[in-house]
Amino acid sequence: MDIKTFISEDGNYSIANSKVRGYFSMPSKHFHDKYEIYYLRSGERYYFIKDRVFHIKKGHLVLIKEGELHKTTDAEKPDHERTLLYFRKPFVSTANNSTACLLESLNSRSYFVLELPLKEQQTVDKIFYEMFLEAEEQQAGFEVCLQGLLMKLLVYMGRYIRGTDENAFVSNSPKHEKVSEIVKYINGHYYEELSIPDMARLFYISPYYLSRIFKETTGFTLLEYINTLRIKEAQKLLTGKRIKVIDVADKTGFGSVSQFNRTFKQVSGFSPLNYRKLFKKSD
């Protein structure tokens, strides 16, 4: 794997380009407090986002808001090249808040999938090329140039999104459609007791087949997905109005506080109380 990466000192912006030979799977835990822009330069990937599976090909551009659970998995063909950009809102903020409209136009949904025609691919390629050049040379004011280039990309995406139907890129594989049904059920019932045998009976498939197609499609084991979703929802509760940790555990489907604490630390890297102290939003 060939990787070229730049990360800003404050962590509010990063960009990386990777050429992957063979098959590749993203890390299991994948939701974060940053916007993500994913651009596939070559090859094919399946991109699981929220409760759908998209078949991503060369020239596809994906934007995902903070906190949305997602993961890419292998398609039929190995080898791919992609550019991955992360940013937080402060990176595109200005003194007069004039750039707020950039994200407002993109915030109507939690993600977007765009297919760029060749001419538009060349435009995006040029923007990313200039980003990498600024990050590599780091001449005076390069951070401002990176900010401006990102704003330019967001404006471009905001204009182009209006004429794009992302449903055209949803995988129509029966396996993917079945997993999509299962994920939608989990997303609506994560706070209940969920087991592989019960889920298998509910969807009229064997526990083995359920576990296999879920992992192949989403990149998560069923338990990993359920626990990650529960912790994501727990984080929202912990940073909102004051609520006891024991109640957060109960509201997000954990059988005990000890199980909740252990899983929270595994997924987030923090204990629930430390997470609350570090990330609590102002009331």
Task: Please give the average pLDDT of every successive group of 10 residues along the chain, which has 283 residues.
Answer: 81 92 66 90 92 92 90 87 93 70 70 87 94 94 93 85 75 92 95 94 95 92 93 90 90 93 91 86 47
Cα torsion angle, 240, 246, 250, 254, sign: positive
Domains of the chain: 2-169 (2.60.120.280), 174-279 (1.10.10.60)
| Dihedral of the alpha carbons of 280, 223, 32, 5, in degrees to the nearest 10 | 150
Quote the CA–CA distance of 17 and 2 in Å, as a whole number: 8
Quote the CA–CA distance of 233 and 190 in Å, as a whole number: 9
Give me the pLDDT at residue 26, please: 63
Give me the pLDDT at residue 2, please: 58
* Sheet-wide strand order for 35-42: 2-7, 13-20, 80-87, 35-42, 60-64, 111-115
Of 49, 19, 1, the C-alpha closest to 167 is 49
H or E element in which residue 189 lies:
helix 174-189
Helix (H, G, I), strand (E, B) or coil at 217: helix
H or E element in which residue 114 lies:
strand 111-115
Task: Give Cα separations from 185 to 51, 115, 169, 208, 211 (angstroms).
Answer: 9, 29, 22, 19, 15
Quote the CA–CA distance of 60 and 58 in Å, as a whole number: 6
Residue 201 · residue 210 · CB < 8 Å:
no
Tokens describing residue 150: 């990102």
Of 225, 221, 226, 189, the C-alpha closest to 208 is 221
State the pTM of this model: 0.86
Give me the pLDDT at residue 282, please: 43
Give me the pLDDT at residue 283, please: 42
